[in-house]
């Protein structure tokens, strides 16, 4: 399997994970079903939409109905199984972390394909990963995760730099994608478990 084969799969996985994260956030704020679907959509496609517009590319979800089906399915699944899902206190965190791990690499891939600078491609990956979550949190009247003390965008930055380093070392692209996504997931998870944080302005 090549990178061109796995990227669409990762995109669908990230979309599904972020849609669940949006639906869970809506449930915690006691939104109705429409509110849950809307928040799931915004969370799942927000970063990718902004990325495609900035790269002057067709917006992916407007040309592929699978995104619609996945988001509605994820919200419906969350609506039906919410009580079971919420037995696990870190469920929202888990799906959010899966989403940023996947979307960081996808955003970088699209940036590199468009021949933008590697470091700007890293920033494009971070933007793709975090923008949907920022909009989700703002719509829920919460301080976005990216602005809190937890390691969030920094995990995306580290994973993006690892991905560039692996490509520079001629690592197979597919392996580089997998390793970089795992680095983001582990860094974000450990930062919460160990209460790591960046210095804050006083």
Per residue in 5-63, pLDDT (tens digit) is 788 888 999 999 999 989 989 988 989 889 999 999 999 999 999 999 999 999 999 99
Backbone angles phi, psi at 73, to 5 degrees: -65, -40
Nearest to 29, CA basis, from 129, 147, 149, 136: 136
Nearest to 137, CA basis, from 17, 21, 54, 10: 21
The pLDDT assigned to 96 comes to: 86
The pLDDT assigned to 82 comes to: 76
| Percent above pLDDT 70 for the chain | 92
The residue with tokens 């920033």 is 123
The pLDDT assigned to 3 comes to: 66
The pLDDT assigned to 86 comes to: 66
The pLDDT assigned to 112 comes to: 92
Beta strands in 123-172 (DSSP E): none
Write down the domain spans for the chain: 3-145
Question: Alpha-carbon torsion 69, 75, 79, 83, what sign?
Answer: positive
Q: What's the pTM?
A: 0.88
pLDDT tens, position by position, 156-180: 999 999 999 999 999 998 899 999 9
pLDDT tens, position by position, 124-152: 999 999 999 999 999 999 988 777 766 88
The pLDDT assigned to 74 comes to: 92
pLDDT tens, position by position, 77-118: 988 887 776 665 566 778 888 899 999 999 999 999 999 999
């Amino acid at each position: 399997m090549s990178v061109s084969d796995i990227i669409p799969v990762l995109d669908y996985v990230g979309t599904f994970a972020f849609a669940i994260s949006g639906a869970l956030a809506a449930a915690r704020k006691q939104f109705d079903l429409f509110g849950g679907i809307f928040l799931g959509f915004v969370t799942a496609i927000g970063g990718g939409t902004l990325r495609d517009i900035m790269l002057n590319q067709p917006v992916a979800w407007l040309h592929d109905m699978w995104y619609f089906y996945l988001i509605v399915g994820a919200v419906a699944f969350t609506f039906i199984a919410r009580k079971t899902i919420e037995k696990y206190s870190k469920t929202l965190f888990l799906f959010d972390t899966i989403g940023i791990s996947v979307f960081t690499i996808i955003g970088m891939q699209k940036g590199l394909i468009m021949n933008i600078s590697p470091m700007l491609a890293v920033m494009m990956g971070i933007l793709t990963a975090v923008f949907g979550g920022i909009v989700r949190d703002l719509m829920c009247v919460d301080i976005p995760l990216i602005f809190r003390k937890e390691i969030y965008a920094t995990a995306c930055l580290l994973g993006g730099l690892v991905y560039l380093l692996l490509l520079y070392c001629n690592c197979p692209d597919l392996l580089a994608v997998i390793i970089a996504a795992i680095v983001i997931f582990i860094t974000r998870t450990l930062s919460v478990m160990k209460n790591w944080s960046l210095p804050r302005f006083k």
